[in-house]
Structure 1
Amino acid sequence: MLLDRSDNKFIAAQYNIYISPHEILKPYISTYNILFPDKNMLSQKYTLIPDASGTLSFAYDGKRIKGELWGASTRINIIGSEANNYDFLLLVELKPCGLYQLTGVDQKEFTDIRIDLDTVDKSLNTSLCNIIEQAIEVRDLVNGLNAIFLSRMGDVYQTNTIIGLIRKIHNNNGFLHIKELSISEHYSERHLNRLFCRYIGMNVKLFSRIVRINSAIEQLQNSKSSFTFIAQQAGFYDQSHFINDFKALCGVSPIVYLQNMSDFSNETLKNNI
């Protein structure tokens, strides 16, 4: 069984496996992250940076599987010490709007909330836990996940509309004011905020701010540009505003982040809307 380390020594030795979902699911699901943690896998300070996305988490402690829904994040989460205690973890890492498509529930209820999936969607939780329990190989697990999530696609017209708006904000690295979006899309600002709160869990301004900081993080990781240049590229008035906003969202300054990057998650896949 996949959950039994003794039967999966090769897989468990890899510790952390990322697998892309079915092509149809890619606008909604970033990746299936399969982990076989041990006490030293993650730093005790391992931190998830806010990315305005939700996650479905399934943790096995040797006795039972616990399914949880993590709403769209607007603040940091330190998870290292907890994650290291499980025998197996499956993280269905979603993209903005993905959680709404899979559950059909107003996402404003779940922003920065962590809750048992069973209380939100008992049928989905039972189906996914059964797939995990029955999987012999990773391939079985992925095929089962794809089948369940594909059955939940239903009407995608409205979510695809939101994804189009999200893409515009991403293409501008978060530097797109709601007034500009309102004019280009022929929606009132109030209606745009209502849509974002319902389908993503936050208003346009906060979502854009998170995208802007994540864009800056990607540049910090992959370039040797100065903070001033990165701040300008991300649409900040000056370096000071960039540093203050970065610290407010990530809990540390850009310098500290660069010095301790291994303590932070790197979810660049979620930017590929």
Structure 2
Amino acid sequence: MIKPASLKLIDPQREIIDQNDNFAYVVPCKDLRQWVSNFTLSFPDETMISDNYTVMPHGSVTLVYYHNDTGLHDRLFGPMTEPKVVGDIANKCQFIFIVEFQPAGFYPFSECQQSELVNGIYSFSSINPLIDTEIRQILAMEKSAEQVFSRVERLLLDNLGVTCPEVLTRAVALISQSQGRILLKAVVETLSYSDRQLNRFFNQYLGLSMKGFARVVRLNHSLRYLNDPRKTVATICDELGYYDTAHYAKDFKLICGVTPLNYRQNLSDFYNEVAKFSSYT
């Protein structure tokens, strides 16, 4: 089983997003970044994660392996457009290993209609039993965090299936780079594809419609801004193009289940993505 001390021995050449004695958020190798945004390895406890700990929606698939008193388990979270409370499970684990996929990044490992997975929770073995078995063996055998990261990277690269069309990659880039503010009509005109064609690609390979994805991107930039105490809600509204603070608060609560103020007052109870959209911005 992986040793917590190995978090201090991660390859110095590897890009680390954040790290302490209990966790590490790392970026995958360059060849994998189009599909995977980051890996997370953590050794949580009840003081580190509250029962209310909630993952905020980010429109992408997340694969989680966790080891507790009953053994090793997995959960595959489909593309998320709503928050998920995970703290009551996470704080009782010996370790948690997470693969966060990029938008449309999970399709090559499932080759199923991604819209069918939205907001669902599945067993990865029912979708890709080969990769699931290999990851379980890696987590059971390896004692080093770096070896886990390296072996899972190689496994995913060796099992890449059909990837998404180039036009979808370009559409995701346009939406991400605009922080979700671009008019969808402008996306259609820029790419010379019909709205219907693009939405078919979005639903098949990413899981959300163009409008739904743009909304999630805008929300995630909002979350990042709320994490900065120097930014007022009015400033955030202005930077993200909301009509006014009332409209922003209503939209935020509709997606997240809490108001921007509630979120800001309880930051430690929420997780928002740390590296998503990085291959596009």
- Common topology (TM > 0.5): yes
Deviation at 1:79, TM superposition (A): 0.8
Match of 2:5 among 1, 10, 14: 10
Q: Is 1:239 the counterpart of 2:245 in the alignment?
A: yes
User: Hey, what's the Cα distance between the residues in 1 that align with 2:122 and 2:110?
Assistant: 13
Number of the residue aligned with 2:233: 227
Given the superposition, is the C-alpha separation of residues 126 and 232 from structure 1 closer, same or farther in structure 2, using an over 3 Å criterion? same
Pair 1:87 & 2:94 matched: yes
Q: Which has the higher helix share?
A: 1
Report the Cα offset of residue 248 of structure 1.
0.9
Q: Quote the Cα distance in structure 1 between the aligned partners of 2:275 and 2:214.
A: 17
TM superposition shift of 1:239: 1.5
2:120 and 2:175 map into 1 onto residues whose CA distance is 24
Distance in 2 separating the partners of 1:196 and 1:90: 28
- For the residue of structure 1 that corresponds to 2:118, the secondary structure is coil
Q: Quick one: percent identity of the two aligned structures? A: 28
* 8 Å Cα contact 2:67/2:73 also seen in 1: yes
Native 8 Å contact 2:78 2:121 kept in 1: yes
**Amino acid of the residue matched to residue 5 of structure 2?**
F
Whether 1:272 aligns to 2:273 is no
CA distance in 2, matches of 1:140, 1:230: 41
Find the partner of 1:261 among 256, 262, 267: 267
Alpha-carbon separation, structure 2, partners of 1:161 and 1:141: 33
Offset of residue 218 of structure 1: 1.4
Contact preservation (8 Å) 1:56, 1:70: yes
Q: Relative to structure 2, which stretch is displaced further, 231-240 or 62-71?
A: 62-71
Q: Give the structure 2 partner of residue 68 of structure 1.
A: 75
**TM-score of the pair, normalised by structure 2:** 0.89
Matched, 1:251 2:257: yes
Deviations 1:105-140 (A, max 9, x none): 210111001001111111111111111112121122
Question: What is the letter of the counterpart of residue 114 of structure 2?
Answer: Q
Counting only pairs closer than 5 Å after superposition, residues 11-26 of structure 1 correspond to structure 2 as 11=6, 14-26=21-33
190-199 vs 57-66, greater mean Cα deviation: 57-66
Q: 1:107 and 1:263 mapped to 2: Cα distance?
A: 28
Instruction: Provide the residue aligned with 1:5 in structure 2.
Output: none
Residue matched to 2:128: 121
- Contact 1:18/1:31 (8 A) holds in 2: yes
**1:64 Cα deviation from its structure 2 partner:** 2.9
Instruction: Indicate conservation of the 8 Å contact 2:63/2:74, yes or no.
Output: yes
Aligned pairs for 1:1-273 (under 5 A) are 1-2=1-2, 8=3, 10-11=5-6, 14-156=21-163, 158-222=164-228, 224-273=230-279
Structure 1 residues 9, 136: closer, same or farther in 2, change over 3 A? Answer: closer
Counterpart amino acid of residue 235 in structure 2: F
Q: Secondary structure at the match of 1:270?
A: coil
Q: Cα distance, 1:243 vs. partner?
A: 0.8
Q: Distance in 1 between matches of 2:35 and 2:205?
A: 12
Residues 67 and 129 in structure 1, CA contact (< 8 A), matched pair in contact too:
no
Shift of 1:81: 1.2
Q: Describe the SS at the equivalent of 1:40.
A: coil
| Residues 184 and 149 of structure 1: CA distance in aligned 2, closer, same or farther (over 3 Å) | same
Deviations 1:29-75 (A, max 9, x none): 11110111222220221111100011111111245322221101000
Tell me whether 122-131 or 71-80 shows the greater mean CA deviation.
Answer: 122-131
Structure 1 pair 39–222 and aligned structure 2 pair: CA distance change class (3 A): closer
- The TM-score with structure 1 as length reference comes to 0.92
Shift of 1:268: 2.9
CA contact (8 A) 2:28 2:39 kept: yes
Larger CA deviation: 192-201 vs 159-168? 159-168
Distance 1:59 1:187 in 2: 42
